[in-house]
């Protein structure tokens, strides 16, 4: 019996360049990922994760490391072939691992054949596949829209005397979703991968696929301190350049395709926005097609570590959802964000892991976070990310969180026999899979324990969420309930010892330091060490194991 998405314990994100190299070119690839499937699931010492998501591995000139796709239905030779992917899919499915791929609908590469045609002349049949506009009378761009990466979002095309729009790099021209032919092309891409057997798609940067058709200027952001960085993305309120009137309709059409297949899903990439309330934003995305699609919740990435902060955002978010319909997708790290352990601290990262795995829905774990990987230190000569190369020294680059997976203590950490495309992060001699597998108190052991719990008991995916006790600056407690079953997640988010009293005694199910016992008294009294967290089963309402 294969698991359904609703039973999946977690989704594990693989950045394919950095997971495992199989052909000694210093870049990870699909055959490398195949070789590492036993690490993921099915062996006694596996991590034990039910689903994986690959960042893009499609044909691409790699201006944005694969988020600039030049053939949506093929694999970049660096990563392998379509045959390799099919083998990966089969072998993952043999282990009952679901496979999700990335889908980049907002823009293609400027080397995609569609764009090559589109830019060739104003009357080319593919001209309207992209967003073209005349200059203003003085020759300047059609409006003030800005690229996420800074500067105007418009690039001049000399040959045809018009500008084209690029929300990201100029090598990533925005597709014109208001053109029905583009929508059909992209729907065909979704069908292609679903027919091949992938279990899901993560849809990149979706909020930009619909824009103001009148191309009105975005208003200035009054909160922004104008200065030398006047063309910074934050200087405008992006009310017209994204979240256009047809966004949810276009997503509905796409997800209707997903819904026509058995047990497939689409996860939307969306960050909290300063324009809409979080409620409107989330419920908008959940409203698209709740049975098969849902947005990530990235709020935990931006919010400083702390009991009040997490309690507030999680409780508010849970309160918005209809538990029988909406699947929360809590995410505390990805390939665009500083590493969790570097952002919140090493001990604190364990608390976040336990909290995340104690929450409902489908949690997402970024590769390497399960061994506590930290940001890599990237020397100027080693910079790869175009964002960093554009404005070096501002620390906006994403290389630090994309360094190779640390498998063992060998010179290239077991990732490759050749020098990797990014350096191995410091500390890899201890912080690696081989070492942590032998340590009963490691991050890896903690993640294995937590994933095992989510495998054994569906209360984690499906139980109700409730905060417990008074709001407290140091300790955040929530409970989960499913029928007669009841558990408590108790999180000491302070650097001091803390006491807390639960309504009953119970059994310890997991703790941030797997080798340490967190005692719970018969009357429910719990004592926690600094940054210690634990999950307890309530003595009076025990759990039923999944058979």
Which residues sit at the interface with ligand ISL, rule CB under 6 A?
64, 67, 104, 148, 168, 204-205, 269, 271, 335-336
Structure tokens at 57: 């591995």
Report the greatest alpha carbon distance in the chain: 79
Active-site choice (21, 204, 370, 388): 204
Q: How far is the CB of 334 from ligand ISL (least distance, A)?
A: 7
The angle subtended at Cα 23 by Cα 18 and Cα 27, nearest 5°, is 25
Of 317 and 366, the one with the shorter C-beta distance to ligand ISL is 366
E strand residue ranges, 338-451: 364-366
Q: How far is the CB of 121 from ligand ISL (least distance, A)?
A: 27
- In order of 36, 115, 427, 455, the CA distances from 411 in angstroms are 19, 42, 12, 35
Q: Is 346 helix (H, G, I), strand (E, B) or coil?
A: helix
Q: How far is the CB of 160 from ligand ISL (least distance, A)?
A: 25
Of 105 and 506, the one with the shorter C-beta distance to ligand ISL is 105
The per-residue DSSP string of 263-290 comes to: T-EEEE-----SSS-HHHHHHHHHHH-T
Contact 326, 268 (CB under 8 A): no
Structure tokens at 392: 């070096």
Half-sphere exposure for 55 (CA within 13 Å, toward CB): 23
Structure tokens at 39: 């690490």
Pick from 113, 106, 126, 214: which is nearest to 166 by CA? Answer: 106
485-492 and 533-538: which strand pairing? antiparallel
Active site residue 71: no
Of 104 and 165, the one with the shorter C-beta distance to ligand ISL is 104
Q: How far is the CB of 27 from ligand ISL (least distance, A)?
A: 17
Q: How far is the CB of 182 from ligand ISL (least distance, A)?
A: 17
Active site residue 204: yes
Structure tokens at 295: 């947005």
Q: How far is the CB of 336 from ligand ISL (least distance, A)?
A: 4
Please report which helix (H) or strand (E) contains residue 373, including its range. none
Residue nearest to ligand ISL (CB): 67
Of 148 and 303, the one with the shorter C-beta distance to ligand ISL is 148
Of 205 and 510, the one with the shorter C-beta distance to ligand ISL is 205
Structure tokens at 167: 């929300």
Structure tokens at 98: 């679901």
Of 124 and 229, the one with the shorter C-beta distance to ligand ISL is 229
Active-site choice (269, 270, 370, 388): 269
475-482 and 464-467: which strand pairing? antiparallel
> Catalytic residue positions?
204, 269
């Amino acid at each position: 019996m294969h698991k359904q998405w609703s039973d999946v314990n977690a989704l594990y994100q693989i950045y394919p360049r950095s997971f495992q190299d199989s052909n000694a070119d210093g870049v990870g690839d699909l055959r490398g990922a195949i070789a590492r499937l036993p690490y993921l699931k099915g062996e006694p010492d596996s991590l034990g994760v039910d689903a994986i998501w690959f960042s893009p591995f499609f044909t691409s000139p790699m201006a944005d490391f694969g988020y600039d796709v030049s053939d949506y239905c093929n694999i970049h030779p660096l990563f392998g072939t379509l045959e390799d992917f099919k083998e990966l899919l089969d072998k993952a499915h043999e282990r009952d691992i679901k496979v999700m791929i990335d889908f980049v609908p907002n823009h293609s590469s400027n080397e995609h054949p569609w764009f090559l045609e589109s830019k060739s002349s104003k009357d080319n049949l593919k001209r309207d596949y992209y967003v073209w506009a005349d200059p203003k009378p003085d020759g300047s761009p059609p409006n003030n829209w800005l690229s996420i990466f800074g500067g105007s979002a418009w690039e001049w095309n000399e040959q045809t005397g018009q500008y084209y729009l690029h929300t990201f790099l100029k090598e990533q021209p925005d597709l014109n979703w208001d053109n029905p032919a583009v929508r059909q092309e992209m729907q065909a891409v979704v069908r292609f991968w679903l027919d091949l057997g992938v279990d899901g798609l993560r849809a990149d940067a979706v909020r930009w696929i619909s824009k103001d058709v009148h191309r009105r200027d975005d208003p200035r952001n009054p909160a922004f301190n104008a200065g030398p960085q006047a063309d910074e993305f934050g200087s405008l309120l992006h009310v017209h350049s994204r979240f256009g009137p047809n966004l949810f309709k276009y997503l509905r059409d796409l997800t209707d395709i997903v819904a026509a297949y058995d047990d497939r899903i689409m996860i939307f990439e969306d960050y909290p926005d300063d324009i809409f309330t979080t409620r409107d934003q989330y419920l908008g995305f959940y409203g698209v097609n709740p049975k098969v699609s849902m947005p990530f919740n990235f709020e935990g990435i931006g919010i400083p570590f702390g009991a009040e902060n997490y309690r507030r955002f999680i409780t508010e978010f849970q309160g918005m959802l209809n538990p029988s319909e909406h699947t929360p997708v809590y995410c505390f790290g990805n390939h665009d964000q500083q590493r969790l352990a570097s952002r919140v601290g090493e001990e604190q990262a364990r608390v976040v892991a336990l909290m995340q795995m104690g929450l409902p829905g489908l949690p997402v774990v970024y590769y390497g976070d399960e061994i506590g990987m930290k940001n890599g230190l990237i020397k100027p000569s080693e910079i790869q990310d175009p964002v960093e190369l554009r404005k070096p020294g501002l620390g906006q680059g994403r290389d630090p969180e994309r360094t190779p997976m640390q498998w063992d203590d060998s010179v290239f950490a077991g990732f490759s026999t050749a020098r990797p495309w990014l350096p191995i992060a410091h500390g890899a001699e201890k912080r690696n899979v081989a070492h942590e597998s032998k340590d009963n108190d490691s991050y890896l052991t903690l993640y294995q324990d937590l994933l095992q719990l989510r495998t054994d008991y569906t209360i984690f995916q499906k139980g109700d969420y409730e905060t417990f006790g008074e709001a407290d600056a140091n300790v955040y407690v929530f409970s989960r309930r499913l029928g007669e079953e009841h558990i408590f997640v108790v999180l000491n988010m302070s650097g001091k010892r803390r006491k807390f009293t639960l309504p009953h005694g119970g059994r310890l199910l997991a703790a941030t330091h797997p080798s340490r016992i967190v005692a719970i008294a018969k009357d429910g009294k719990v004592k926690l060490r600094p940054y210690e967290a634990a999950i307890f089963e309530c003595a009076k309402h025990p759990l039923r194991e999944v058979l």
